[in-house]
């Protein structure tokens, strides 16, 4: 595929701030690296693996990605994932417990 045939995708730029109270596991993992490329690459890797794990849980990880420049976001219904597929998630998105 030549460069002229490839669609142009906009670059995403993020300013990412994370306190340890927000997510201790992620914070401890990222703080191991000094500021810069290694930390950013680690965050990029973790984000990629998270997306792959999410897609695998709903059974679409092995499917080919469509080559569409601007595609609508994929929405997955709550029924598509079960507690068996994501045991570590538990009831994280359930209604809060009332006292």
| Concatenated DSSP letters of 13-51 | -------TTT-HHHHHHHHTSPTTHHHHHHHHHHHHHHH
Rounded CA-CA distance 49/53 in Å is 6
Question: Using the 8-state DSSP alphabet, how is residue 11 labeled?
Answer: P
Residue in the structure block whose two tokens are 């340890």: 20
Question: Using the 8-state DSSP alphabet, how is residue 9 labeled?
Answer: -
Residue pair 94/71 in contact (Cβ under 8 Å)? The answer is no
Can you give the pTM of this predicted structure? 0.50
The predicted-structure confidence for 41-87, as pLDDT tens digits, reads as follows: 999 999 999 888 888 887 765 555 555 444 555 555 555 545 455 55
Structural domain spans, the chain: 3-80
């Amino acid at each position: 595929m030549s460069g002229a045939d490839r669609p142009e995708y906009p670059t995403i730029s993020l300013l990412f701030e994370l306190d340890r109270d927000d997510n201790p596991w992620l914070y401890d993992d990222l703080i191991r690296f000094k500021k810069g490329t290694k930390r950013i690459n680690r965050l990029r890797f973790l984000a990629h693996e998270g997306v792959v794990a999410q897609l695998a849980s709903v059974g679409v990880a092995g499917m080919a990605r469509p080559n569409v420049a601007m595609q609508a976001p994929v929405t997955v219904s709550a029924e598509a994932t079960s507690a068996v597929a994501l045991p570590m998630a538990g009831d994280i998105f359930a209604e809060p417990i009332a006292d």
